[in-house]
Amino acid sequence: MSANTFDPTRSDACTPSRAARELGLQRDEFDLAIQLGHVRTLPDDGGGGGRLVERAELDRLRAQEGFPDTFSDRVRTVGTADGAALMDVPAGRFTRLARLGLLVPVGFYVNRYRTVVWLYLAEELKRFAAAAENAHLLKGRTPETLRSQLTDGVDLRARNWRTRRLGCLLRQADNPWARAGAVAALLPPVEVADIVKDPYERARVNRCRPELPELAPPGASSGHLAERITTAQDADEIEWLRSELATYVAEARGLSPATRTALRRPRPSRRPTARPIPPMARTITGAVRTPGGAAGPPDWGAELRRAAAAHVSEWPRTSPALPALPPTLRNHGTGPTVPRSTWRLRAWLRRRSPRPAEV
């Protein structure tokens, strides 16, 4: 371990997990408080890329009146059914208000039935229901302008969540590259590559790109659904994010240009070369000289045809124990012929264990 790993300036800081345990809060409540800006954090300079919480910040939270109940109420989230009951409206009206963008979700997740469950801050719902200017939206007939938007299929829940998420990420970013990475997290990769054409700058933006938490169970369809929600879909939204990304990259380029290191080409792997297979030894059949002194040429085609016919027709089901026979020369001339039974036995032996004959 390096001696420079310990940083005395951060000896009084702890991780968010430990801070949540010390405060007696759930981890998701503490993470939401960080996103909403209720808890101040510092970047981890140790190379982990996370955030740290100072002890002074923990003391400030403990000193709040009514802690931890008041703190938990500020980060308490509810779904559609609980939110409608909290506002004393039907669930259908609550969903319509959320689709129109009047109620902004703070989170979501995809359940095992591949259904998106939107989460809302209970504190914001209470504030919306208590406002006098919203009374006509909670009771009575929905205005015609809003009903026409619902008829056209408007649904601003995903877009409002992305806008809120971007605000939380920009609040935590402490340099232009981090702000560029926060904007790039909501854009498709092809749009990021079109704006940031330099490969070194694009690599820097991708390193600063924050990772989103697991919002869907494992599965192709659930993951695709969560990806559509976390990525900009509307043309005007994509155009606005492209403009913001170009602005932040230009600002970051002027302050701290991306490091240009030489690209290393991977060495070609040394693949083992297969050794050549030695040729199989074959039986050499000599020709017997005739009394006239001339050696007749062996009829290889006829011999192979006879050997194949004998192998197919009279192949034994169980290999009998056969005595070893001395090598003999084939007679292709006018000399004495080998008995047919002995020839079949020799052909079968050649096919079973070929070996060179003595010539």
pLDDT digits (tens, 9 = 90+) for 43-80: 877 655 678 999 999 999 999 888 888 888 999 999 99
Which residues of the chain fall short of a pLDDT of 70? 1-11, 46-49, 213-220, 261-341, 352-359
Which of the listed residues 96, 123, 155 is the one where a domain comes to its end?
Answer: 155
96 and 181 part of one domain:
no
d(CA 201, CA 249) in angstroms, rounded, equals: 8
- Give pLDDT, residue 81: 96
For residue 294, is it within any domain? no
177 and 224 part of one domain:
yes
- Give pLDDT, residue 284: 46
138 and 84 part of one domain:
yes
123 and 214 part of one domain:
no
160 and 254 part of one domain:
yes
d(CA 98, CA 93) in angstroms, rounded, equals: 9
111 and 143 part of one domain:
yes
For residue 273, is it within any domain? no
For residue 83, is it within any domain? yes
Tokens 């590259």 belong to 177
Which of the listed residues 258, 285, 317 is the one where a domain comes to its end?
Answer: 258
- Give pLDDT, residue 140: 84
Q: What are the CB-based long-range contacts (under 8 Å, 24+) for 55-60?
A: 55/12, 55/13, 55/14, 56/12, 58/14, 58/19, 58/22, 58/23
Considering only CA atoms, which of 174, 169, 178 is closest in space to residue 37? 169
Which of the listed residues 21, 49, 71 is the one where a domain comes to its end?
Answer: 71
For residue 338, is it within any domain? no
133 and 194 part of one domain:
no
d(CA 359, CA 329) in angstroms, rounded, equals: 8
For residue 207, is it within any domain? yes
d(CA 10, CA 78) in angstroms, rounded, equals: 36
Contact 142, 217 (CB under 8 A): no
100 and 22 part of one domain:
no
Considering only CA atoms, which of 165, 168, 145 is closest in space to residue 157? 165
User: Containing domain of residue 168, as a range?
Assistant: 156-258
For residue 299, is it within any domain? no
> How far are the Cα atoms of 53, 131, 209 from residue 206, in angstroms, in the given order?
25, 42, 5
66 and 81 part of one domain:
no
For residue 285, is it within any domain? no
What's the total number of domains in the chain?
3
pTM of the predicted structure, to 2 decimals: 0.67
- Give pLDDT, residue 7: 45
162 and 236 part of one domain:
yes
- For 220, the enclosing helix (H) or strand (E) is helix 220-230
Q: For residue 178, how many C-alpha atoms fall within 13 Å in the half-sphere facing its CB?
A: 12
269-280 pLDDT tens trace? 555 555 555 555
For residue 292, is it within any domain? no
Considering only CA atoms, which of 37, 39, 35 is closest in space to residue 57? 39
CATH of the domain at 54: 1.10.1660
216 and 145 part of one domain:
no
142 and 202 part of one domain:
no
- Give pLDDT, residue 336: 54
